[in-house]
Each structure stands twice: as structure tokens, then as C-alpha cells.
Amino acid sequence: MDKIVISGGKKLYGSISLSGAKNSALPIMAATLLSKEESIIENVPDLRDIQTMIKLLQALGAEVRFQRHTLFVKPAKDLCPKAPYDLVSTMRASVCVLGPLLARMGYGEVSMPGGCVIGARPIDLHLKGFEALGAEIKIRHGYVVARAKKRLKGGEIYLGGAFGSSVLATANVLMAAVLVRGKTTIHCAACEPEITDLAVYLRKMGAKIRGEGSPRIEIEGVSKLRGSRHRIISDRIEGGTYMAAAAMTGGDVLIRQIAPEYQTAMIDKLKQAGVLVDQTKSSIRIRRRKPLKPVDVTTLPYPGFATDLQAQMMALMSITPGISVISEKIYPDRFMHVSELNRMGAKIYLEGARAIVHGVKRLSGAPVMASDLRASAALVIAGLVAEGKTEVHRVYHLDRGYDRLENKLLSVGAEIGREKEEKQGSMNN
Ligand code: UD1
């Protein structure tokens, strides 16, 4: 297994180009199954989660080629409707093949995804949506079995849960609804840009959809969809991660191929923190001239502050003089990075789903353990400003979701590299 090794203290200067959005690519890859024709998906990031989804599409009966960030997917006439445990258990987003399977085959079996380190992650809203379209749902031997006894029919579906709407439930139900008979309205739909991107692709396939990007999506079912070509939007979470990194080190970084309209919450918080943020239509420049100021952040569904940027923002706050408060409203347990940041000298206290961050003058490099994808990114960017050497272990988390992170940081002057672990479990010795 690899580890990332960082020598802190370098300011970042230069430009970084973003990759395509993982969270857009994964449901769109699932949506390719809705047609028997080939789809070509461009700007797909080269990540472990994408490789997992490729394996899943192949297991379901699609021919898939992935060349230079372009995916060619040709689904079989008859799909194998079972998504096996070994793939689903490594990536929750696998669950979003259920909508396409149900819509095309009238039947789908997907291993029930378990909880994960960021907390319980139920799929009740996905299932409620399928039931509203007329599917019968059963849980059998750890699998969700969804069956359409007759052709599915449009309906009124409310997707609000205890923590707001659900991104993948909206994607899943939308993908099923495009092929059912009649009209479907999704109320309290997720408004994330990745849902809009999915709707744009589905429309190119011939789907009839209105209202994506708002909490009310209307779909008029069609009987057949064609293959299509689509370019994935850039990754706003990757973008926010580099914005936080640049703000922390205090250099001058231009982030290219970014959509500033999807970064408004992050831009707002950075400006409040005293960071200089200049934007054009497709770039954001981050500089810092004055000391950072504390800010309070509450994670919320889009367009609120993204939970996927909470850990990176906490790393920034950890070296911001004064007290900042982070309230986590999407995943109340998503604080595994707190103890690791504290091992680097941060002073962060947890009070339920709130983190109270007392800014320290400096962090000190330490061996730390990545617990999940975004937590890993936070530890890496903390390492960029920490005194001495930081080693981030268990980087397979990072490889799930960041395309060439260390190369991109290296290109703007960070002292960062990837090394092989000397022996497994050395962190515990
Ligand atoms: C997606 C993102 C993930 C991000 C999350 C929230 C992908 C591949 N992943 O995950 O990176 O952190 O959105 O922005 O796009 N919930 C229920 N019942 C359900 C589904 C969800 O109660 O059936 C709850 C969840 O536990 C959570 C909240 O709703 O508290 C939001 O989760 P959701 O939007 O579903 O996250 P994902 O779509 O799985």
C-alpha cells in the first residue's frame, strides 16, 4: 500500500486544472445502461471508483473501453440484472444501477450497501421512489430485489429525508422514471450540479425532463432511449479542495476548468476568512494578503456548503486565529479526521455534530491515517502547512476520488510524493 509524504512549509504558486466530477461520472455511467446503443462519455476522471463502476457495468453485460479519460459503453441487449456484493461493498454509488436495471429489465438485484465510516447511509428514499413507480421491493439475503410486475407507471414522489434530499436517490429515481409510462414528478429533489449533468445527458439520449437543478423535477416517460455523447462537468469538490489548499499555504494559485457558479458557498466562506478570490467564467484565483479570520460553516444540501468540503475547510480553520465552528447537517458523524488533525497539533473539540476549532499558530507534521476520501484530502492539505514531515497512510481512500492529486500539488510547488509503505500496520507499532 502507498503513503503520501509531504514536507510542509511551501507556498503554492501556479495553476491547476480540474478533472471531471466523480460524482457526476458515476451515475451517468449507470445511465448508459438505459439504452442498447453505445454512449461515449468524455472528461471521465481516472479513479478507483470509476474502475469499480467499469467492472460493475461489465458484470451487468456492457462492453466498456476507457481511453484517455473517455469511456465507450455498449450495453448488451439483455442485461444481467444482479450487482454483486464484492463490487457494491467497495462503492456505495453502485446502488444507482438499480434504477436503470429496473427501467430496462423490469428487474434488478443490488447488494444492500452497508454503513460506512462517515456514518449510517440508508437507501430508504431510493426504495420509496421505486415503489411510487409501481415496483415491488424485497430485501433477500443481503440484496435489494426490485421487480416491476407490469410496466412501471409515473407517479408523485417526495424524496425529502431527515437530512434533506438525497443526491443518489434523486439520480436513481430519475433514471428509472425516464423509461416508465406517463408523467413523474419528483418533489424535494436534490439540486446538486451532478443531478443537472445527469439530466442533460439523459435528455441527449431522448429523455423528457424539466426542472433539474430545482427541487421539482418533471419527467415524461418515453419507450426507448438512444446512446449519446456527453462531457462530464468539472469536479467542484476537487476544486474546493485546491481552493482550501491555496488559501492555507498563502501563495497565488489559479484553478482552471472550474465552474465558479457551483462554488458560491466555498467562495463566500473564503472571502469571509479574508482570502482574495478572483473569478472568471472558468477560473478562480486564490491569494492571501492578510491573516486568516475565523468563520462558521454549516454543511447543507446544494447550494449550501458541501459536506464533501467540510474536512478540508476544517484543516484551513485549524490554522486560522480565533474560534471557528463547523456544524455538520448531512452526516452528523463525519468527524473521523478530527483526531488525526489533533495529532498534527490542531485544537478541535467535538460537541455532537459540531466541531469547535481553536486556531493554532502552526501544525506539526506527523504520521496520520486517512479514514475516508475527503478526510484524506484534508490531512494532505494540512501537511502542506505543517512543520516538518507528514505521512498520510491508507491512501487508497484518496485514490478513490482524486485524479493525480500529488502530481497536481507538485506542479504548483508542494513538496509531496508517494512512497511504498515499508510494512503493513507500521502505524500501530
Ligand atoms: C452523494 C455523494 C457524496 C456526498 C453526498 C452528500 C455521490 C457518488 N456521492 O452521496 O459524496 O457526500 O451526496 O452531498 O454522488 N439518506 C437517507 N436515506 C436515503 C438516502 C440518503 O436518509 O435513502 C440520508 C443520508 O444518510 C445523508 C443524507 O440523506 O444523511 C444525504 O445523503 P445522500 O445525498 O443520499 O448522499 P449520497 O447520494 O449517497
Cβ 281 vs Cβ 260: under 8 Å: yes
pLDDT at 40: 98
By the 10 Å C-beta count (0-12 exposed, 13-18 middle, 19+ buried), 139 is classed as exposed
Strand arrangement of the beta sheet that strand 143-147 belongs to:
82-83, 107-111, 143-147, 136-140
Residue 91's CB is within 10 A of a number of other CB atoms, namely 20
Torsion 53-194-96-92 (CA) sign: positive
Q: Is the peptide bond before 321 cis (omega within 30 degrees of 0)?
A: no
pLDDT per residue as tens, the chain (429 positions): 889 999 999 999 999 999 999 999 999 999 999 999 999 999 999 999 999 999 999 999 999 999 999 999 999 999 999 998 888 888 889 999 999 999 999 999 999 876 566 666 789 999 999 999 999 999 999 899 999 988 899 999 999 999 999 999 999 999 999 999 999 999 999 999 999 999 999 999 999 999 999 999 999 999 999 999 999 999 999 999 999 999 999 999 999 999 999 999 999 999 999 999 999 999 999 999 899 999 999 999 999 999 999 999 999 999 999 999 999 999 999 999 999 999 999 999 999 999 999 999 999 999 999 888 999 999 999 999 999 999 999 888 899 999 999 999 999 999 999 998 875 443 333
Q: Which atom of ligand 1 sits closest to the CA of residue 96? A: 8
Q: Is 123 in the pocket of ligand 1 (CB under 6 A)?
A: yes
CA distance 18 to 193: 16
DSSP 293: -
DSSP 315: H
Output the DSSP codes for 164-205: B--HHHHHHHHHHHTTSBSEEEEES----HHHHHHHHHHHHT
pLDDT at 115: 55
Q: How far is the CA of 166 from the centre of ligand 1 (A)?
A: 5
Identical fold, 2-19+293-422 and 22-231: yes
Q: How far is the CA of 286 from the centre of ligand 1 (A)?
A: 29
Q: Is 126 in the pocket of ligand 1 (CB under 6 A)?
A: yes
Q: How far is the CA of 20 from the centre of ligand 1 (A)?
A: 20
CA distance 136 to 250: 55
Q: 22-231 in CATH: which number?
A: 3.65.10.10
- CATH superfamily of domain region 2-19+293-422: Enolpyruvate transferase domain (3.65.10.10)
Measuring from atom 8 of ligand 1, which residue has the nearest CA? 23
By the 10 Å C-beta count (0-12 exposed, 13-18 middle, 19+ buried), 194 is classed as buried
Q: How far is the CA of 305 from the centre of ligand 1 (A)?
A: 14
Cβ 418 vs Cβ 3: under 8 Å: yes
Q: Is 166 in the pocket of ligand 1 (CB under 6 A)?
A: yes
Cβ 218 vs Cβ 156: under 8 Å: no
Q: Which of 166, 298, 312, 329 to mutate to test the pocket of ligand 1 (most atoms within 8 A of CB)?
A: 166
Q: How far is the CA of 365 from the centre of ligand 1 (A)?
A: 33
Q: Is 26 in the pocket of ligand 1 (CB under 6 A)?
A: yes
Q: Is 93 in the pocket of ligand 1 (CB under 6 A)?
A: yes
* 116 is an active site residue: yes
Considering the candidates 80, 96, 116, 188, report the single residue annotated as catalytic.
116
Q: Is 161 in the pocket of ligand 1 (CB under 6 A)?
A: yes
Q: Is 258 in the pocket of ligand 1 (CB under 6 A)?
A: no
DSSP 34: G
Q: Is 78 in the pocket of ligand 1 (CB under 6 A)?
A: no
Give alpha helix (H) positions in 3-82. 22-31, 48-59
Q: How far is the CA of 24 from the centre of ligand 1 (A)?
A: 13
* Residue 183 cell numbers, joined: 408523467
Cβ 340 vs Cβ 369: under 8 Å: yes
pLDDT at 232: 98
- Please state, in angstroms and as integers, the Cα–Cα distance from residue 110 to each residue in 86, 120, 123, 135, 171, following that order: 11, 18, 12, 14, 16
pLDDT at 426: 37
Q: Which atom of ligand 1 sits closest to the CA of residue 120? A: 26
Q: Which atom of ligand 1 sits closest to the CA of residue 93? A: 8
Q: How far is the CA of 81 from the centre of ligand 1 (A)?
A: 24
Q: Which atom of ligand 1 sits closest to the CA of residue 302? A: 14
pLDDT per position as a tens digit, 94-130: 999 999 999 999 999 999 876 566 666 789 999 999 9
Residue type, 279: Q
DSSP 77: S
pLDDT at 121: 75
CA distance 128 to 137: 9
Q: What angle do CA 344, 252, 342 make, to 5 degrees?
A: 10
* Residue 372 cell numbers, joined: 475516508
* Residue 172 cell numbers, joined: 436513481
pLDDT per position as a tens digit, 387-429: 999 999 988 889 999 999 999 999 999 999 999 887 544 333 3
Exposure on the CB side of residue 281, measured as CA atoms within 13 A: 0
CA distance 216 to 243: 31
H helix or E strand, kind and range, residue 67: strand 62-67
Q: Which atom of ligand 1 sits closest to the CA of residue 331? A: 30
Q: How far is the CA of 170 from the centre of ligand 1 (A)?
A: 10
pLDDT at 122: 86
**How many helices (H) and strands (E) are present in the chain, helices listed first?**
14, 24
Please name the residue that has the C-alpha cell 482574495.
276
Measuring from atom 3 of ligand 1, which residue has the nearest CA? 308
Q: What angle do CA 237, 362, 288 make, to 5 degrees?
A: 55
Q: Which atom of ligand 1 sits closest to the CA of residue 125? A: 23
CA distance 48 to 54: 10
Torsion-angle region of residue 413: left (phi > 0), alpha (psi -120 to 50) or beta? left
Q: Is 188 in the pocket of ligand 1 (CB under 6 A)?
A: no
Going from N- to C-terminal start, the domains of the chain cover 2-19+293-422, 22-231
Q: Is 168 in the pocket of ligand 1 (CB under 6 A)?
A: yes
